[in-house]
Structure 1
């Protein structure tokens, strides 16, 4: 049978929308995660050092510590456990696992950050320094206040230089700087570059030129084609 014009137009618009570029979803902030964010999904795979406080049945194979899927991890075993699983197993009332701090969040490194946070290659030490560090606050560690303070001060200390560099991106090579940034900082750098580019377009009068989106253009072309037919 015939397909009604409205359904045909809707199908054309839907196909065009599906062909649009992927629009990234931003990561969550603080203790929360956004499971529609690729950055948060990748961050949740980062591993934490820890120790089994009780036997963990059927987890040995998943954590690379056993040959069979039914093998248990004995109590006292050292672990390298993904963040998402550590959060799932953590229980402040029942001692299931003990989560240790990664070295970059320990006191020695906190001292380095306090002295000069700008000298640290955050991407090398951990590409999700801010997000991962915020997630560590889910665990009952007595050093949590110091960790939170260091993360905040590190961001404040590095923010000005990142944004200044993003505004001078056309005048100098910033690749060395960007290579040292964590993923949140890279997103800020890109936002700064985009803001500069948009402002320059506005200065040149290009911002006043209103153009139809590709979705609207595709929809219009399909509609006129159907009318001609």
Structure 2
């Protein structure tokens, strides 16, 4: 799960490759190539909408003078469901496979703080449903949740099913082999080494 993505995270690379609509705030000379849909002008005029990759937007200051990030439609569509507390029926995987992480990156650029509230309320409303399906589903039904859950939810779903299966086995005592912790094993090895060295000293001739 990609709560704190690192440089080599594949999921993070996928997210930052996404294009985001941005409104041009000032005339940008010789920057017309950024608008792939209009090759007739060499400049970007104020008010024009261009699609920029998220990795480029991340390098801009939040209050930069060149572009204003537009809220993606997927979060506007979810906003009504959030207000009605009906987010459990939304197939987040179809809206965006990285719904939460994509929104987390865009939150600093949202002056109205809409995206942050949406992703928080969406997960808050869906977490109980996520717990329920993790208890009731098994490995054979993972494909049925493919479009219902985004990447983070899908990973939590798999982890929840594994944890629930281990808990059931523990209740049924079908897997009652108690494992020694690594700390205890290391302590035992040290004791054996000390005892072995003491025996060697005692057995050595004076």
1:155 is the counterpart of 2:130: no
Distance 1:62 1:207 in 2: 61
Question: How much does 1:178 deviate?
Answer: 3.6
1:28 paired to 2:3:
yes
Say yes or no: does 1:195 pair with 2:163: yes
What's the TM-score once normalised by structure 1's chain length? 0.64
Say yes or no: does 1:128 pair with 2:128.
no
Counterpart residue number, 1:9: none
Q: Is the 8 A contact 1:60 1:72 kept in 2?
A: yes
Counterparts of 2:10 and 2:120, CA distance in 1: 23
Identify the residue that residue 165 of structure 1 maps to in structure 2. Answer: 133
* Cross-structure match for 1:85: 56
Residues 165 and 174, structure 1, Cα contact 8 Å, conserved in 2: no
Equivalent residue number for residue 42 of structure 1: 14
- 5+ residue gaps, structure 1, are 1-25, 211-229
Bigger radius of gyration, 1 or 2? 2
Any conservation in 2 of the 1:89–1:96 contact (CA below 8 Å)? no
| Residue of structure 2 aligned with 1:74, choices 40, 44, 57 | 44
Tell me the distance in 2 between the aligned counterparts of 1:167 and 1:177. 14
Deviation by residue 1:155-184 (Cα, 9 ceiling, x = unmatched) = 011111112211222398453334210111
TM superposition shift of 1:64:
3.6
Alpha-carbon RMSD:
3.0
Report the alpha carbon displacement of residue 53 of structure 1 after superposing the two structures with TM: 2.1
2:196: which partner in 1?
A: none
How much does 1:140 deviate? 4.5
Cα 1:124–1:57 shift into 2, 3 Å? farther
3-state DSSP class of the match of 1:27?
coil
Q: Distance in 1 between matches of 2:162 and 2:28?
A: 49
2:88 matched residue in structure 1: 118
Alpha carbons of 1:87 and 1:55: their partners in 2 closer, same or farther (altered >3 Å)?
Answer: farther
Closer/same/farther in 2, CA of residues 198 and 59 from structure 1, 3 Å limit: farther
Tell me the alpha carbon deviations over residues 137-165 of structure 1, each in whole angstroms, 9 at most, x when there is no partner: 111422x1x43222212101111111221
Structure 1 position 101, deviation (Å)? 0.5
Unaligned runs of 5+ in 2: 181-206
TM-aligned CA distance change 1:189 to 1:65, over 3 Å: same
Q: TM-score, normalised by structure 2?
A: 0.70
Would you say the 8 A contact 1:169–1:193 is kept in 2? yes
1:63-98 CA deviation, whole Å, 9 max, x = no partner? 64587xxx9551333211111111223441x41111
Distance 2:7 2:176 in 1: 37
